[in-house]
């Protein structure tokens, strides 16, 4: 079998022809890989920089959870609540008995709330709002809007 000296061989090493072809083939692959890496690095260097992520506007604060008043054991909890103008308050009935939520000045009024039903109202004006359960008038509460 004839032998061929591979490219880059040192000290007069001789390889059989099939092995020499494999070495030449690997050398060509290495050259191709180097060329691809060089082209890729130029492409990466020429690519425009990605825009910096935009910061959220200063006026966008994470929204606070909606205040909830529980109706349980024939009472409102908490009995009083202070909120900012524009806040929405929810009432959730946890009793097995129906209840209502009605402001004493008729600014808001729920229907009958069965167990696990909820009622919500958005307070758009500052003031003090007293409310009551129409079915059980001993149940009272107060919302202060500032």
- CATH code of domain 68-145: 2.60.40.420
Query: DSSP assignment, residue 117?
Result: -
- What pLDDT score was predicted for residue 18? 59
- From CA 112, how far away is CA 133, in angstroms rounded? 9
> What pLDDT score was predicted for residue 88?
98
Tokens of 66: 């909606």
Q: From the first residue on, what is the mean pLDDT of each consecutive set of 10 residues in the chain (146 residues)? A: 50 54 49 45 49 51 80 97 97 97 96 98 97 97 97
What tens digit of pLDDT does each residue of 19-34 get?
555 445 444 544 444 4
pLDDT digits (tens, 9 = 90+) for 83-98: 999 999 999 999 999 9
What's the pLDDT score for residue 24? 54
What is the pTM (predicted TM-score) of this model? 0.57
The whole-angstrom separation of Cα 100 and Cα 108 is 11
Residues 84 and 122 sit within 8 Å (Cβ to Cβ): no
In the structure encoding, which two tokens stand for residue 45, read together?
């260097």
Domain ranges of the chain: 3-46, 68-145
């Amino acid at each position: 079998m004839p032998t061929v000296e591979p490219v880059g061989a040192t000290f007069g090493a001789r390889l059989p022809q099939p092995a020499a072809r494999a070495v030449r083939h690997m050398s060509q692959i290495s050259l191709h890989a180097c060329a691809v890496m060089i082209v890729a690095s130029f492409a990466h260097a020429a690519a425009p920089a990605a825009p910096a992520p935009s910061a959220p506007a200063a006026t966008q604060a994470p929204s606070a959870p909606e205040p909830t008043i529980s109706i349980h054991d024939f009472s409102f909890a908490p009995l009083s609540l202070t909120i900012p103008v524009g806040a929405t308050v929810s009432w959730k009935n946890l009793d097995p008995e129906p209840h209502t939520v009605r402001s004493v000045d008729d600014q808001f009024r729920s229907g009958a709330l069965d167990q696990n039903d909820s009622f919500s109202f958005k307070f758009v004006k500052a003031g003090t709002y007293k409310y009551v359960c129409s079915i059980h008038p001993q149940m009272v509460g107060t919302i202060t809007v500032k």
